[in-house]
Structure formats: structure tokens, C-alpha cells
Amino acid sequence: MPEPLVYLNGEFVPYSAARVSVEDRGLQFADGVYEVVRYYDGRPFRMQQHLARLVRSAAGIELPLPPIEEIRRAMDALVEKQSLQDATVYLQITRGPAPRAHGLVTDPTPTVIAIAREAHSVRPRPTLRVVTVSDDRWARCYLKTTALLPNALARERARRLGADDGIFVRDGFVMEATASNVFVVLKGRLLTPPLTNYILAGITREAVIELARGEGMAVSEEPISAHLLYEADEIFLTGTNSELGPIIAVDGRTVGDGSPGPIFNRLIAAFDVAVRSSQPIGARSS
């Protein structure tokens, strides 16, 4: 099997040959941003939205980016060069190497890394058990930065409690899961927390909202009290890697009848159609 390729600072190199400086700011300060783009049938899903979010995240930490079109071409080329059809491309851009100092670098040379890996859409989606965890992350969760240690610790706490993931709760309200957004069905209403500085604007979240409205469902972006997780008819997560994931238990309490519900099933079916189509979601649902 051929060795995977890595896009590193303008070059495509074998995985084993990819190297970055020991003084890269991404390594020493988590000083960087990232995106993960899903490819279906060799085509990126919502690339424009991913790149727009990358620009917002970089601006939020005052990180200069290479030309966006150059980044787009590099990601596409990784998939094409390795003859991948269904894949994920992980893109990371850091402030680059510099002598260690807490201030920002005046003239940084960003480090750009992209890796493509084969991906599979598992159907039916595996069911998930989650626990609620206190949200102790920083106040700029709306930026997609590489500072993910609190998320990793929360995921590990969930694993040790026999769960698959954790849902962050702040001041009694649902925020998001460790790497995905949260949707709740309550008395027939589809709800998701509104975007704030503590919630990342998920690309799949946005797509699911559009799909739900295209299916004639009313969707409300509103604060969700954590106790409502125990009363929900359905709960599911959305993310680029995880697509849509149905939750069947929260803190040991069964959600609904303990199986994926009808709203989830309708949306995952609509999602599967959407990602295999070259036509934008908005055009299909208008």
C-alpha cells in the first residue's frame, strides 16, 4: 500500500518525511487553526463554508493565511493524487517556527499541513451514549483553533464513565459536544443552541438546519436548559467526521425509546442525498 502523502508548506511529501520545527508555535503554544473537510465521491462537501470559517478563525487569533485558493487546490490535489473517493482532509495552519516567546511573532512564516485519509459513511449510524460535563474551556470556542486539550480531557472523562462523548454544560445550559454540535427534539420541535462565543458554527450543523427546513421542519436556535436533555424525544450530534450521530442515553438515562427517532432518520436520509449531489443544499430545498 503506498505511503500517504502530506501537504507541507507547498510540497507534497511522504508521510514519513514530513517534519516541522521543534519551535513551531503550534507545538509550543497551540498557536494555530484547523479545518476538516469531508469529500464524497471525490468532491468536497461545503468547501466554501469551511474556508470562510478558516478565515474567520485565523482573523480571530491574528494569524496571516496563505492565499485561500492555494489552500483549496492543495486539499483537492491530496485527494486526487491518492485516488481517494470518500475522504477527510485535515488542514492545520500554525504561526510557524520562532524562538519561544509569549508575544506574537512580528513577521510569521506560517506552517501549513494537510493530510487526506480514506473515510467511510457507516449506516446505520452507531448509537451514542453521552454524559454531561462542566464547560471549563476558554471563551473563544467559536474559533476553530488547535487548543483542544479541554475537549480531549472531557472525551476521556466520558470514556471512563462508559460513554462515547461528553456534552458541555455552562451555567445550566447545553453548549456543544467535544467535537460536534447538539440537536434536541422536544415535543416535536427541533432545537439547537444558538451560536455564541462558546459554540463553534459547525458546517454540518448549518447543513442540517437547511435540510430540516427543506423537509418542512421548524427549527429553533434557542438556549436549551441541560435538564431538558432528560426529557427529550430525540438527541443527535452533527459534525464533519461523525456526520449525524443519534444519542440513546444521557447520564445513564434513556432518550426516547432508546433508538434513533423519526426526525433523525428523516434527516440522515436527506443528508445522504445531499452529500452525493453536486447541487448546493439551498438550491435543492428552495
81 is catalytic: no
Torsional class of 37: left (φ above 0), alpha (ψ -120 to 50), beta (otherwise): beta
Assigned C-alpha cell, 15: 508521510
**Which pairing describes strands 189-192 and 165-170: parallel, antiparallel, or unpaired?**
unpaired
**Which pairing describes strands 165-170 and 128-134: parallel, antiparallel, or unpaired?**
parallel
With contact defined as beta carbons under 8 Å apart, do 245 and 180 qualify?
Answer: yes
Residue 71 CA neighbour count, 13 Å, CB half: 25
Q: Residue 197, SS3? A: coil
d(CA 251, CA 238): 19
With contact defined as beta carbons under 8 Å apart, do 78 and 114 qualify?
Answer: yes
Q: Where are the beta strands (DSSP E) in the chain?
A: 5-8, 11-14, 32-40, 43-44, 87-94, 111-118, 128-134, 165-170, 173-177, 181-186, 189-192, 219-221, 234-239, 243-250, 253-254
> Which of these is catalytic: 25, 53, 144, 205?
144
Catalytic residues: 144
